[in-house]
Amino acid sequence: MAVRAAVIPAPGEAIEIRTFPDPVLEPGAALLRTTYSEVCGTDVHLFHGRLAGVPYPLIPGHINVGAIEALGGRATDAFGDPLAEGETVTFLDVHGTCNACWYCLVAKATTRCPHRRVYGITYGADEGLLGGWSAKIHLKPGVKIIRLPEGLTPEIAIAGGCALPTAFHAIERGGVGLGDTVVIQGSGPVGLMACALARLSGAQKVIVIGAPAARLGMAKKLGADAIVSIESASEDERLAAIRDLTHGRGADITIEATGNPRAVREGLRMTRDAGIYVIVGQYTDAGSVEIEPHLDINRKHLDIRATWGIDFSHFHRSLHTLARFRDAFPWCDIISRFYALDEAAQALADVEGGRAVKAVLCPNGRAASPIRP
């Protein structure tokens, strides 16, 4: 049976729907019937060809939820527990971390393993159904599959999306805990999830800086104590606002989740002396920024901690955190709209245009929803 998928033929070329044959499942593989696939900022970059090492044509969609439709003999979840047809699962988009290179074995920096491949990003359509904007996804042997934890609906899981484990990693890097005042730069999905997770970690105060108003409103729904709009406040005013909210000292921990290089300088200045500055938003090369190492870093005795990618622990723990705190926030309000597969181009445009905080594709259909700003 033919499988329909949305494909980016080449950087900048219009998305088109193509059909692919059903994959042949090797032993240990599984076939997923896609319920939801996320459309995120990375997909916008992929569309414009801004990431290195991406093979086109490409079926995007790295974070997905679906139901097991078929199994290649005995296939298991990440911990070796056998899967059954019909089970609702998600999976870590990163595949093939080698556990056999210097970065994996000596540095223990597995997110920098050069052999890792990513569904929907570094696996191209020529290699198979390896992206989520498709009615079915071929889960190769070794893909880290997780059953949705008890109480976690597919909707909440996709609301967390790829932003949730990414933010989880950032929170871990920052060591956010009781007593900490946390500033989050950026109100996109990663910033919003960092807001929620900082709140759940017991932070003393959580401040989100971003725009537009709808996203800042979402930040409030996800636990922000204060918000600062970059539309209505200049950089100086923003710095002053943070000082006012932090006894004149700045944040204990600032988490950058903007993708804008200039945010780095501003964020360093928003962090208190001997504080921690976590960079998690600089995922593509958006240029440079001028900083003053003496004033912005050394005299402040800062710790700056970059956050590249996620490993399985972040994926696993963030999903369980989401299940536990399912009722703490209206998580699904972050989903601006559900789109049919045929609307993939529209979904991407809505994300790029800032009309959607988060767009979700339903490759096997679902009543399309009105956009929520």
Over the window 30 to 59, marking each residue x when it contacts its own copies by CB under 8 A and - when it does not, the resulting string is ------------------------------
Of 190, 214, 169, 234, which Cα lies nearest the Cα of 336?
214
Closest CB to its own copies among residues 31, 196: 196
Q: Which member of 269, 300, 337, 358 binds its own copies (CB under 8 A)?
A: 300
Inter-residue contact 96 to 142 (CB < 8 Å): yes
Minimum distance of its own copies from residue 21's CB (angstroms):
30
Minimum distance of its own copies from residue 349's CB (angstroms):
24
Closest CB to its own copies among residues 20, 119: 119
Q: Which member of 2, 126, 306, 369 binds its own copies (CB under 8 A)?
A: 306
User: Residue 327 to residues 147, 197, 226, 372: CA-CA distances in angstroms?
Assistant: 20, 13, 21, 20
Minimum distance of its own copies from residue 105's CB (angstroms):
4
Q: What is the DSSP string of 148-190?
A: PPTT--HHHHHHHTTHHHHHHHHHHHHT--TT-EEEEE--SHH
Of 124, 119, 39, 102, which Cα lies nearest the Cα of 337?
39
Applying CB under 8 A, the span of 18-26, 76-84, 333-341, 359-367 interacting with its own copies comes to 76-84
54 to 73, contacts with its own copies by CB under 8 A? Answer: none
Closest CB to its own copies among residues 311, 350: 311
Over the window 213 to 252, marking each residue x when it contacts its own copies by CB under 8 A and - when it does not, the resulting string is ----------------------------------x-x--x
By CB under 8 A, is residue 81 in contact with its own copies? no
Of 159, 115, 173, 131, which Cα lies nearest the Cα of 310?
173
Closest CB to its own copies among residues 55, 202: 202
322 to 341, contacts with its own copies by CB under 8 A? Answer: 324-325
Closest CB to its own copies among residues 185, 336: 185
How far is 201 from 318, CA to CA, in rounded Å? 12
User: Residue 17 to residues 14, 111, 306: CA-CA distances in angstroms?
Assistant: 10, 32, 37
Contacts with its own copies by CB under 8 A: the residue count is 78
133 to 172, contacts with its own copies by CB under 8 A? Answer: 144, 168, 171-172
By CB under 8 A, is residue 10 in contact with its own copies? no
How far is 171 from 169, CA to CA, in rounded Å? 5
Across the strands, what pairs with 229? 210
Closest CB to its own copies among residues 1, 100: 100
How far is 143 from 91, CA to CA, in rounded Å? 7
Of 228, 272, 276, 266, which Cα lies nearest the Cα of 251?
272
How far is 343 from 306, CA to CA, in rounded Å? 35
State residue 277 phi and psi, 5-degree precision.
-120, 115
Q: Which member of 48, 74, 220, 299 binds its own copies (CB under 8 A)?
A: 299
Over the window 268 to 287, marking each residue x when it contacts its own copies by CB under 8 A and - when it does not, the resulting string is ----xxx----xxxxxxxxx
Applying CB under 8 A, the span of 36-44, 211-219, 227-235, 298-306 interacting with its own copies comes to 298-306
Q: Which member of 177, 212, 217, 373 binds its own copies (CB under 8 A)?
A: 177
